[in-house]
Amino acid sequence: MEQNNKECKSVVDGFQAPIKKAIQFSPPLYRQRYNFVKDLVDKHKPRKVADLGCGNALLIRTLKCHSCIELLVGVDINKNKIGSQRIEHLDPTDLADFPQVVFGYLSPAMIVISTPNVEFNPLFPAVTLRDSDHKFEWNRKQFQTWASDVANLYNYSVEFTGVGEPPAGAENVGYCTQIGVFRKIGAKATESCLAGQQEEYVYKIVYTISYPSLQQKEVRKYALVNEVYRQVQNLRRGYAVSLKILQDDENERLKDSGLIKFSGPVFTELEKSNIEKSPKPFSYGNKFYVPLERLFAYPKVNRLCDNVDMMRALIADTMQLNRDGSAVKVDLHDDND
């Protein structure tokens, strides 16, 4: 997390005084929430995911490349106020009905609820509620009490965590966004009625998108080959550039460690760790090699195949591999670089 160097000012009795520095999160807080859900999907591989309070559907678009998911559904309470509707946007009556609908009627295997932690708010300049549409915001005890009561009532377990770490010296306030992860106990979670009993809904369908299913081998193969090719070319270009700019000792150290950084996607800490632990690309003569294990460590590749052997089988007739089939092989230099 980073803090902005500019201090916010307020005017009290005609005098201007500094309040506090504005807090900025890196990655942004919304992206940390999405990455949290994405990591859960990577781990548990659900077939169906519903985003209640989907806003602009960015989370849904983030999850659509997961091959395990067959159905993605987004629901929001106000299509004209697309943004970030969550539990704290509900009126008291709707909040009272929320557990019965989600935990009782839908009864999925896992439920993830995120909500602002009001104890963090004093660290923001002139903030009482995070959003003008919020009906309330809970401290950690209030949220955990509500969540534990709901979990006990509907036969779920619940674990508490969050995203958005506080700055040094303010650790006692907890995460900026608090999260509860609920898991169904005992009886198998019911199949979501979202795909079945549409005549009972009061929801209005705004739009529907049908993607080619990644469950189909040829569709998955096409997506995988394109993603592998993209990653290989990104790595090749970065490696070729590094050969030209590595001159001082520090750059040599970075080259040896494989940590030279170029512009690209933002990875979670777990994703970065998995990539850095995997075998590094290398060159021999005018050829550039990317180990399949390295490619498999990249999130989008990992989600398209179950293991390295499956990846090898899907790309073998399209991409050139080295003799033992352990790496993709391409020319180190390209006339278009």
The stretch 133-161 carries a mean pLDDT of 89
DSSP label of 101: I
Question: What pLDDT is recorded for position 54?
Answer: 81
Q: From CA 270, how far away is CA 278, in angstroms rounded? A: 13
Q: From CA 102, how far away is CA 104, in angstroms rounded? A: 6
328 bridge partner residues: 290, 321
Asked whether residue 195 carries a pLDDT value surpassing 70, the answer given is no
Instruction: Give the residue among 160, 159, 156, 148 at the shortest CA–CA distance from 189.
Output: 156
Q: Residue for token digits 């009490």?
A: 145
Instruction: Write out the two tokens for 209.
Output: 């998108």
182 bridge partner residues: 111, 158
pLDDT tens sequence across 202-239: 556 666 666 667 777 888 888 899 999 999 998 998 88
Q: From CA 313, how far away is CA 298, in angstroms rounded? A: 18
Asked whether residue 41 carries a pLDDT value surpassing 80, the answer given is yes
Question: What pLDDT is recorded for position 99?
Answer: 87
The stretch 259-280 carries a mean pLDDT of 72
Residue type at position 308? V
The stretch 253-266 carries a mean pLDDT of 50
23 bridge partner residues: 3
Asked whether residue 40 carries a pLDDT value surpassing 90, the answer given is yes
pLDDT band (50, 70, 90) for residue 243 = confident
Question: What pLDDT is recorded for position 317?
Answer: 92
Instruction: Give the residue among 3, 33, 208 at the shortest CA–CA distance from 115.
Output: 33
The stretch 72-88 carries a mean pLDDT of 62
Provide the angle, in degrees to the nearest 10, between the axes of the packed helices 217-245 and 308-315: 100
Residue 75 burial (C-beta neighbours within 10 Å; 0-12, 13-18, 19+): middle
Q: From CA 243, how far away is CA 333, in angstroms rounded? A: 11
The stretch 91-95 carries a mean pLDDT of 64
The whole-chain average pLDDT of the chain stands at: 77
